[in-house]
A = this chain, B = another copy of it.
Amino acid sequence: MIIQLESGASQQAIAEVEAVLSDIGYKKNEISTQFAKYWVCIGKNEFDIRRIGSLAAVSDVHRVSDSFKLVSSKWKVGPSCVDLGDGVKIGGGHFQTMMGPCSIESDAQIEETIAFLKNNNIKIMRGGVYKPRSSPYSFRGLGQDGLKIWSEIAKEAGVKIVTEVMQVSQIEAMADYVDIFQVGARNSQNFNLLDALGQVDTAVLLKRGMSGTLDELLSSAEYIFSHGNEKVMLCERGIRTYETAYRNTFDINAIPILKEKSHLPVVSDPSHGVGIRKYVSSVTLSSIMAGADAAIVEIHSCPQKAFSDGQQTLDFNQAEKLISDIDKVRKLYSEL
């Protein structure tokens, strides 16, 4: 059971709720987010929920039988919208395309990418400054310095930034420059990182683990939310299967299922979800038809010269065609 408290509830009114919880034998976890105060209450006894709902301090109350709680659509029926400011919103009927390179490489690269995005009315730029690499001998990104430069250029252009954070100690320094923190597939169950991201007010794009279940993804989102940050987006990026004809198996089923189980926005990552350039557009469009609230797509002015992962990266011509198609598909989707 989740209880949302009235924002101005008196100490006495709150004590009344505590008394009822104690009476029915429920233990509460107190959660304060940037938007509200919740009690996630865990217990086993039967009781009449109207005993809670009728109390003065209680703004809302629902039973939630899922293992995840605050992110469940059993708690909040309507879709949530993550608002990045300046009119850039994701979820609840708002759709965004995020585009950019795998890695931030140079000022010139940032500038030509931003110019492309501006020309095509794309409002969020992706790019990595800290790169998870399976080999310790590989390039690991430009780091905080790269981020600062990127942020400066992007802010001037009015473009938002989404980039991966890899550890707790990076959060504070990055927070001033980032609009969306991305949690990568390998960190999808790095619970300490999730806890810490719950304590900032920046939006979080949480990727599904390489072989993460949908329930695990939702539980990871619960970590962030329950530590105080409601601005969470779920990202399907393909799962690991036996098939070797492509890089990952994009789980199209995940899109409608996540949207049904949770109120959080769902983002599709077709670049990693299929991993081969010529199929990325097809998978993007089908994910939108399945209900995705956003798509994050790798692009590069010259994929052959990209620092990494060029195989799944669209060039600007392909990206331009895709942006135009996305608009049409999204329009049809919202009319069905």
Contact = CB atoms under 8 A, between A and B. Distances in A.
Contact of A136 (B222, B285, B335): B222
Interface in A165-193: 166-169, 186-187, 189-193
Interface residues of A, number: 74
Contacts of A193: 167
A133 B252 contact: no
A302 interface: no
A308 to B, nearest CB: 14
B245 A215 contact: yes
Contacts of A282: 255-256, 289-291
Nearest to A242: B240
A211 B211 contact: yes
Given A214-B243, A215-B245, A286-B252, A136 B226 contact: yes
Contacts of A246: 253, 257
Interface in A120-136: 132-136
A168 B290 CA distance: 39
A287 to B, nearest CB: 7
A4 to B, nearest CB: 17
A283 B252 contact: yes
A283 B253 contact: yes
A103 interface: no
Nearest to A189: B186
A75 interface: no
A81 to B, nearest CB: 21
A285 B292 CA distance: 13
A8 B240 CA distance: 48
Contact of A279 (B68, B240, B253, B328): B253
Copies of this protein in the assembly total 4
B249 A253 contact: yes
A167 B325 CA distance: 43
A250 interface: yes
Contacts of A169: 168-169, 192
A287 B191 CA distance: 31
Interface string A187-214: 1011111010000000000000111011
Contact of A209 (B210, B249, B253): B210
A253 B241 contact: no
Contacts of A332: 328-329, 332
Interface of A: 29, 40, 42, 67-69, 132-137, 166-169, 186-187, 189-193, 195, 209-211, 213-216, 219-220, 222-223, 226-227, 239-246, 249-253, 255-257, 260, 273-274, 276, 278-279, 282-283, 285-291, 325, 328-329, 332, 335-336
30 contacts: A29-B137, A67-B134, A132-B189, A135-B219, A136-B227, A167-B167, A167-B190, A167-B193, A168-B169, A169-B169, A186-B191, A210-B211, A211-B211, A213-B242, A213-B244, A214-B243, A214-B245, A239-B243, A239-B249, A240-B242, A241-B242, A244-B244, A245-B257, A252-B286, A256-B282, A257-B276, A285-B336, A288-B289, A289-B289, A328-B335
